[in-house]
Structure 1
Amino acid sequence: MTALEALRGRSVLLLNWRDIHHPRAGGAELYAHQVARRWVAAGVKVTWLTARPPGSPGRDVVDGVQVLRRGGEFTLYPAAAASMLRYGGLFDAVLDCQNGIPFFAPAFVPRSTAVVQVVHHVHQEQFGAHFGKPVAAVGRLLEGPVSRRVYRDRAMVAVSPSTRREMRSALGVRGPVFVVPNGNEPPAHRAGPRDPEPTVVLVSRLVAHKRVDRLLRALPEVVAAVPNLRVEVIGDGKQRRALELLAGELGLRGTVRFRGRLSDERRDELMQRAWLTTSTSQGEGWGCTVLEAARFGVPCLALAAAGIDDSVRHGRTGWLVSDVDGFGVALVHALAELADDGTAARMSDDCRDWASAFTWDRSAELLAGVVLGEISRRAGTGATRVKERRSARSDMVTAVRFRVPLDVEPPRGRRTDQVRIVGDLGSALLHGCDELDAEAVLARWNVEPVSIELATEEHLLTGVAVPTTAKA
């Protein structure tokens, strides 16, 4: 039985700043929506509590998910607290999606209710980009010390290894942190040929921490080397007018076109014709737009940053640049590389292969496993049994391969373990295990070890493939 099947019939409260129909919905809302709609399809009762923008109904049903809209951008938080105090006991679990300021669900629901916090990225530096010093200081306090005290040993989910690292280093999180990456739509071949002239397409909200101005400031140097360059900027936001003025000041009106917010179909049409996409963001939980481009075979040139480092495979699906002063030179180099049809075709294939490793079905299943583990832990069953204890820190993961004798029942592991069996060969990611713990787990499973190694960040993102051959 899969974790999602085991979650059937449970009732889950999902807390998120916005819902998928909010006019400013982004990657965090896409993540929550794609997971929630799959949970509902599997028989889970999901109630999404979120803010209510002007003109939106207070109650709605979106893809089977009941959506309750309460309060505004900031008044949502006391509204959510009041709702949890009144109705929190009706839910088996709370999925607390943190968008800089958590909902602090453990303070408002019964202790027996499972709470899993989902963190897309750490906002400590970004508070200063959006707010004045006093408000930014309050934001850092709430996201850091206050959150650490309220959530304590509650399970947390990071959408990328770099977010998990920042949770440990910047926020001081010490409880369990599981990596559940974003999914993606299936890879797609271009509907037609790419543009004959070098074309860069950027899809982004035009807000401070995306730092699109850094791309614009690098472009005069690029245009001098690539005079027929075209740059399409898709998206809207508070900084759009300032960026349009900057493009004019830099003499880029004939090069850069601000498209605003487009339909998905039109956005995808432009992306499919691109040579390259870019990212100059200060930091992300995960490069959603990077992978959306990769599914069409479009590589990315990016300034190295948390989250982006996870989504771009340097030299394979794009390039990472460590120094903003070198971004223009790197862009000229990337376009020169992609001018070669062979190089462009190879990178396009690598992009699609990389994008294919991420599916929303897998994200929904992994997150269901974390929630089930917390439900069992709060109830004092399942993983709390002595024979299931593992001694390594919760975010240490070991990748194992093994043979399964024909007369042995295939192992299932914990809900948070990713176990795959094909014939007599298997592989797994074991959470909370170092190499010695993993040996003990395989011994309990009564299987023959083939290899045991600490999981890499790529393992955490894509899982472990079942080996086609096994060498003892």
Structure 2
Amino acid sequence: MDIPAAATRQVLFLNWRDTRNPHGGGSEVYVEKIAAELIRRGHTATLLCAAHSEGPAEETAPSGLRVLRRGGRHTVYLQAAWLYLIGALGFGPLSRRRGARPDVIVDVGNGLPFLSPLWAFCPVIALVHHVHREQWPVVLTPRLARIGWWIESWLAPRVYRRCRYVTVSAATRDELAVLGVDAERVTIIHNGTPEMAPAEPVARTAEPSLVVVGRLVPHKRVEMALDTVAALTDELPELTLTVAGQGWWEDELREYAVKLGIAERVRFAGFVSDEEKRVLMSRAWVALTPSLKEGWGLTIVEASAVGTPNIAFRGAGGVEESLVDGRTGMLAEDQADFTAKTRRLLCDDVLRAGMGSAARAHAASFTWPAAGEKFAALVMRPVMVPAPSPGPRTHLVP
């Protein structure tokens, strides 16, 4: 099925969260930045996501993105299908008379996809930031984890077998290949780097300092940053850590800091605005990303943009592209190596400054206009594949 031959497109993004959602993260930033770039090029974009207390049922963002919030964490998937189908009959917020009948759907699979090819009459682009094989056992019971992984690794590749994919890193493209998604159907469109310079000049802290930015959930493994602080306190008695972000795992992290005896060294900043994030990253000596898996690692390039090198883990997905090991930061093998590399960067002023400068230059090479241009080209051409792919090569149990 081809999209209509027109100068612009109506694009419907399906993502269970938006950036105003308390659980929103880098995936949501990507969607809304790409949508803004499409709008800037004359397209129309709507985001359908789950309802929450931080935003109204419907609003238009300053970028021109129309945001519809319907259903909850799980029912949003049914709401998406329902609204699309009644829109075909001329009713609801996705109807033609509302000027919002989609030409293209961008179906964002955060573990659980919307399975829109089963009910949509227009082309679908599957947007996958990373494969969640490692995360399922961390956030769900063993039985539910197996179900989630079956949907992601077996069902989804079959449902989207005629669709083109977009992902944010070569690492995720390679993971999708293991699930049977042909590489020629996957377009890599990196994240851009937002403007990160604070409104006013910001000096580094006088004493060694670390920062972690992200959602406070188990698979982000903030505990490993806390362990690192605990291990370095004797050598670096003034060392501090700021944890910026919110999530349901915060109470456990606070208790763990108390258990380690470092509660007075750790500040939980909660949700921070973009300006506050810029300041925190600008003041820190080193940024830490202990996450189990990232599709790209947006916070890595955000820290890089203000000259703050980062330490992450090898094998954690797209971080091996957003961070250039040995040049803009370091990739660790395990907890001991993570701590050792943190110590090295904190104690070597020359190395840290050099990596900070290289990190800033690396971050500048990724821009949202460039990402938007690639995405716009994708939605402007036929996006349905003429023949199905063979399907997953293997079914892996998490």
Q: TM-score, length-normalised on structure 2?
A: 0.87
SS in 2 for 1:302: strand
Q: Write the letter of the residue equivalent to 2:361.
A: D
RMSD value, Cα: 2.2
Moved more, 123-132 or 17-26: 17-26
Moved more, 288-297 or 214-223: 214-223
Q: Deviations over 1:224-270 (max 9, x none)?
A: 22222111111121111111111111111232222212222222212
Matched residue, 2:71: 71
| Stretches of structure 2 lacking an aligned partner (at least 5 in a row) | 89-95, 388-398
Matched residue, 1:139: 148
**Match among 351, 361, 377 for residue 353 of structure 1:** 361
* 1:7 to partner: Cα distance: 7.3
Deviating runs (4+, > 6 A) in structure 1? none
CA 234–161 in structure 1, closer or farther in 2 if over 3 Å, else same: same
Matched residue, 1:290: 300
Does 1:332 pair with 2:343?
Answer: yes
CA 253–23 in structure 1, closer or farther in 2 if over 3 Å, else same: closer
| Correspondences of 1:58-457 after superposition (within 5 Å) | 58-62=57-61, 63-87=63-87, 90-110=101-121, 113-169=122-178, 171-174=179-182, 176-186=185-195, 188=197, 191-304=201-314, 305-337=316-348, 339-340=349-350, 343-375=351-383
Q: Deviations over 1:121-165 (max 9, x none)?
A: 111221111111222111111111111111113100111111111
* 1:221 to partner: Cα distance: 1.9
Q: Answer whether contact 1:37 1:64 (CA < 8 A) is retained.
A: yes
Q: Deviations over 1:298-322 (max 9, x none)?
A: 0001122112112111111101011
Q: Deviations over 1:334-366 (max 9, x none)?
A: 2112x23xx333222211110101111111111
Partner Cα distance (1:313, 1:9) in 2:
37
Q: Write the letter of the residue equivalent to 1:127.
A: W
When Rg is computed on C-alpha atoms for both structures, the one with the higher figure is 1
CA 277–7 in structure 1, closer or farther in 2 if over 3 Å, else same: farther
Partner Cα distance (1:154, 1:328) in 2:
43
Structure with more relative contact order (C-alpha pairs < 8 Å, separation 6 or more)? 2
SS in 1 for 2:296: coil
* 1:13 to partner: Cα distance: 1.3
Q: Deviations over 1:264-290 (max 9, x none)?
A: 222221211111000110001111111
* 1:84 to partner: Cα distance: 2.6
| Stretches of structure 1 lacking an aligned partner (at least 5 in a row) | 1-5, 385-472
Partner Cα distance (1:146, 1:152) in 2:
10
* 1:214 to partner: Cα distance: 1.5
Q: Write the letter of the residue equivalent to 2:236.
A: V
Partner Cα distance (1:159, 1:15) in 2:
17
Q: Answer whether contact 1:50 1:70 (CA < 8 A) is retained.
A: yes
Partner Cα distance (2:8, 2:162) in 1:
26
Partner Cα distance (1:26, 1:240) in 2:
16
Partner Cα distance (2:86, 2:276) in 1:
45
* 1:374 to partner: Cα distance: 2.9
Partner Cα distance (1:328, 1:44) in 2:
47
* 1:55 to partner: Cα distance: 6.3
CA 172–366 in structure 1, closer or farther in 2 if over 3 Å, else same: same
SS in 1 for 2:303: helix
SS in 1 for 2:294: coil
CA 188–262 in structure 1, closer or farther in 2 if over 3 Å, else same: closer
Q: Answer whether contact 2:13 2:45 (CA < 8 A) is retained.
A: yes
Q: Answer whether contact 1:52 1:71 (CA < 8 A) is retained.
A: yes
Q: Deviations over 1:173-225 (max 9, x none)?
A: 23611101111124638813311211111112110000111221232221122
Partner Cα distance (1:351, 1:185) in 2:
14
- Percent of pairs identical after alignment? 36
Partner Cα distance (1:9, 1:370) in 2:
12
SS in 2 for 1:57: coil
SS in 1 for 2:381: helix
Q: Deviations over 1:420-466 (max 9, x none)?
A: xxxxxxxxxxxxxxxxxxxxxxxxxxxxxxxxxxxxxxxxxxxxxxx
Q: Answer whether contact 1:155 1:374 (CA < 8 A) is retained.
A: no
